[in-house]
Structure 1
């Protein structure tokens, strides 16, 4: 018999569902307004945000937990004026994805949830690496500076 969801597990799944619901619509807005013809990385981010909520819905249904409403098309005006430059859209899209998974694994003790979060983290981590590489190649994000010469520091 499977253990029931704990309060922290339920809360994290709820937050994950709501966060991905919001991210999906933010990314829809970004995709509507970005001028860069290569929208693959943003579309990939949107696809990731739409994958996890279906998994959460499945768990909540099995556990008899109400499914959150999340955001809908009525909450977002895709025709609103462009607010940001393309660089900002691309920087935000990958930071949003990483924030969603920071403590996912730590708050659960169930194997099925650990697998779900682990799979998601692997997908998101790969996505973030790809996005960061693109942004460094296009100078939208600085390549991190090198560490100071520690031998020189210790010799003084």
Structure 2
């Protein structure tokens, strides 16, 4: 496209009479929709399997059916938008990545913890995608996605409450006195006496412990059924990282006498039959790893004490190295679908 033609097109974005649905998708919208398609094609495979082997037909299976229906609906909507705008629909994940004949790999309780985790992840991503969108139909899509995911999360929480398995953040005594801090010791944590943990620091520490515990169970199941030795070793490496994070964050809470109750009934069976392809499992772990990096960044900003901040920085770096190793494994096996990128003329379609 010539520069003059491109400038003419961009007028639509600033014109008072512009109809946003008639404009081309922005880079942010293409990226958001592409990732949305991949994510929900993965969840479609996961919940088709979970729905089939779920034993609790009264409470848990209906939730899985609802998630499955929402995932399929969102995939179709993204495909419609891409087809209309002449954007290639991603390959994503299909029946080739799913083995519905596989026996149960996780406990029923873990299915609930997993659903809660995926609802939280979906809300975070969809809110970000909404903020990145400017075209009316894309805004509408993400607004509806947020609303339905919020309602679904409420249902999952209610079921977990009814079964007495909803993890709750620690309760702490709160002073009834207001105070202004003027001492720099409020920030320190490496040398000398440490100040007590802030409620916000506690909430982030416990959240990251819980997320890593749920992720650890997933990694354990995946390591148990992975066909490739490299994939199995990668999963085992992730378990070690999760164990390290759980131990270090728990020790910080323990210093202030803060309990860290974790789900005891979220487990793995003895099955060694893979319900998913190694490709899907690798991508899933990458998805959770990226989510973890984002969570550590938010937690870092919410934690003024230097020793806590340093741990978040360390684990962000570790997660980055772990993610790179996973990406290389996916590339070696031809599992890495290339995301949308800048058009480079005769370089388009080139294999990197």
TM-score w.r.t. the length of structure 2 is 0.41
Establish whether residue 120 from structure 1 lines up as the match of residue 145 from structure 2. Answer: yes
Establish whether residue 14 from structure 1 lines up as the match of residue 34 from structure 2. Answer: yes
TM-score w.r.t. the length of structure 1 is 0.89
* CA RMSD of superposed structures (Å): 1.9
Q: Whose radius of gyration is greater, 1 or 2? A: 2
Q: Would you say the 8 A contact 2:122–2:149 is kept in 1?
A: no
Q: Give matches, 1:139-154, under 5 Å.
A: 139-146=164-171, 148-151=173-176
Establish whether residue 65 from structure 1 lines up as the match of residue 87 from structure 2. Answer: yes
Q: 1:101 to 1:63 in 2, by over 3 A?
A: farther
In 2, the alpha carbon distance for the partners of 1:83 and 1:143 equals 26
Consecutive unaligned residues in structure 2, runs of 5 or more: 1-18, 180-352
In 1, the alpha carbon distance for the partners of 2:39 and 2:143 equals 17
In 2, the alpha carbon distance for the partners of 1:148 and 1:51 equals 46
Q: Give matches, 1:126-137, under 5 Å.
A: 126-137=151-162
In 2, the alpha carbon distance for the partners of 1:110 and 1:77 equals 38
In 2, the alpha carbon distance for the partners of 1:101 and 1:143 equals 19
In 2, the alpha carbon distance for the partners of 1:151 and 1:77 equals 57
- Deviation digits for residues 105-138 of structure 1, max 9, x if unmatched? 1221212211110011100100001111111110
In 2, the alpha carbon distance for the partners of 1:98 and 1:143 equals 15
Shift of residue 95, structure 1, vs aligned partner: 2.1
Q: Would you say the 8 A contact 1:24–1:49 is kept in 2?
A: yes
In 1, the alpha carbon distance for the partners of 2:116 and 2:148 equals 12
Partner of 1:37: 57
Q: 1:152 to 1:37 in 2, by over 3 A?
A: farther
The count of residues paired between Structure 1 and Structure 2 equals 154
Establish whether residue 105 from structure 1 lines up as the match of residue 130 from structure 2. Answer: yes
Q: Would you say the 8 A contact 2:42–2:92 is kept in 1?
A: yes
The structure with higher relative contact order (CA 8 Å, sep 6+) is: 1
- Deviation digits for residues 48-70 of structure 1, max 9, x if unmatched? 11111111111101100011122
Consecutive unaligned residues in structure 1, runs of 5 or more: none
Partner of 1:92: 114
More displaced stretch, 114-123 vs 144-153: 144-153
Q: Would you say the 8 A contact 1:14–1:68 is kept in 2?
A: yes
In 1, the alpha carbon distance for the partners of 2:174 and 2:105 equals 41
In 1, the alpha carbon distance for the partners of 2:172 and 2:86 equals 52
In 2, the alpha carbon distance for the partners of 1:79 and 1:101 equals 31
